[in-house]
Amino acid sequence: MSNHDNILVALKRYCDDWPGTSIESGKFIMTMWPSLYCPLNCPHCYLSLSQRRDKSRLSLESIQIACRKIRNYYERRNLDCVEIFCYWYGGEPTSMPQEYFMSAVQLINNEFKNFKVTHGVLSSLVATDKSWFSLIKDVTKGEIETSYDGDMRGVKYIKKWESKVREAVSCGLNVSTTTVVNRQLVSMGAENYIDYLVDLGVTQTGFLPMMKTDHNSNKGKFDLHATSMEVYNDFLIDVFDVYMKRKRNGTKVVEIGEIHKVLQASNYSSLYNIGALVLYLMPNGDMTLTDYDKDDKEFFQVFGNIVEDDFQAILTSDKRKSWLRKQVRKAGNVECVDCEYSNGCLMEYWKTNRKDDECFGAKRFCGHVLNNKKALDLNVKYSRPF
């Protein structure tokens, strides 16, 4: 049997037989991009200016068509349990009319009434009207996620953002942050970073490395703001050490998403970390995922269009199988194939590691977490879709 055939067999076995680790096995993170519109111009954004200024939206009719096709797929599979996490992304979700958002949520809940459905919202918050907070609180059971990247987006932006975070907390929302690690943030230091979030009332945080896009690389913003993965590892290890010190001292601290991810993923096989749980639903009905070209720039890989195509046809399309093969092969990174942390590393969608730098999986950080596993309180609540 050829290596290609071996990969296909492994993928089929993985998708069919590993409960809770793929769309096919009944757990689906449906990342909602009903609109790409956003009034901001953040340095790390993966969307072009024309995309961010486009106010076109996925119609409610198209959302219903998508949900019915997904529901029919799962009903045919006759699984014991189906869990769907609708992650409202974009663009800026709160730039949409509230009536549209609530109608879409109700439509999704009705179509998936026999499944376990939860919702999450990622918002910049800076232009979000306070009236959104009660809606989001009801839809997400009290959770909201927002972006915080130090001073990279400018001092005026941060002042507005701080005010909105405090406002969201005062409305009873649990606020978590997603941070793109950059030079300004690293200069802040791990202790100050955690102090800052605790003071704002943030309950948990997570990290991503800054990736190259057409938007940020053409204008020099990537070179200005991005750190090496070596620096990324150092910063996350410092954050972990501050976290542990405060846990031991009984001092208030935010939960760190990457700690929970490493611990959870270490219980699964090396096929766990291949993105088989996720698809993006775009404004035109395309179902896509993040991919990387030969220059390591992010782009959307299209697998099919849910308005026009059957959901199973999208899952089994040549492009998705090719995308999954890339994940299984660790994007050709020889050093990752036999790595003891490859099932629980921080590689979000496999890409080629940079020359003369540490891997995108943050191996040193993963080892640091697992080496301190016995000292961690594994019962701490952390909000994850699954």
Q: What is the pLDDT of residue 5?
A: 41
- Say how many CA atoms lie within 13 Å of 223 toward its Cβ: 4
pLDDT digits over 17-39, tens only? 445 679 999 999 999 999 988 88
Q: Which amino acid is at 72?
A: N
- 119: alpha, beta or left, given left = phi > 0 and alpha = psi -120 to 50? beta
Cα(35)–Cα(96) distance, rounded to whole angstroms?
Answer: 8
Q: Provide the b/e sequence for 66-101 (b: ≥16 CB within 10 Å).
A: bbebbbebbeeeeeeebbbbbbbbbbbbbbbeeebb
pTM equals 0.91
Rounded to the nearest 10 degrees, the angle between the axes of helix 229-249 and helix 190-200 is 60
Cα(207)–Cα(252) distance, rounded to whole angstroms?
Answer: 20
pLDDT digits over 45-96, tens only? 777 777 888 888 999 999 999 999 999 999 999 999 999 999 999 889 999 9
**Residue 249: which of 257, 258, 241 has the closest Cα?**
241
Q: In the chain, pLDDT over 70 holds for what percent of residues? A: 91
Instruction: Give yes or no for a contact between 190 and 244, defined as CB atoms under 8 angstroms apart.
Output: no
Instruction: Give yes or no for a contact between 236 and 205, defined as CB atoms under 8 angstroms apart.
Output: no
pLDDT surpassing 80 at residue 269: no
Q: What is the pLDDT of residue 344?
A: 79
- 101: alpha, beta or left, given left = phi > 0 and alpha = psi -120 to 50? alpha
- 262: alpha, beta or left, given left = phi > 0 and alpha = psi -120 to 50? alpha
Q: What is the pLDDT of residue 175?
A: 98
Distances (CA, A) of 185 to 17, 205, 212, 287: 42, 14, 18, 33
pLDDT surpassing 60 at residue 135: yes
Q: Which amino acid is at 142?
A: G
pLDDT digits over 191-235, tens only? 999 999 999 999 999 999 999 887 777 778 888 999 999 999 999
- How many Å from the N-terminal Cα to the C-terminal Cα in the chain? 35
CB under 8 Å to 103, separation ≥6 — which residues? 60
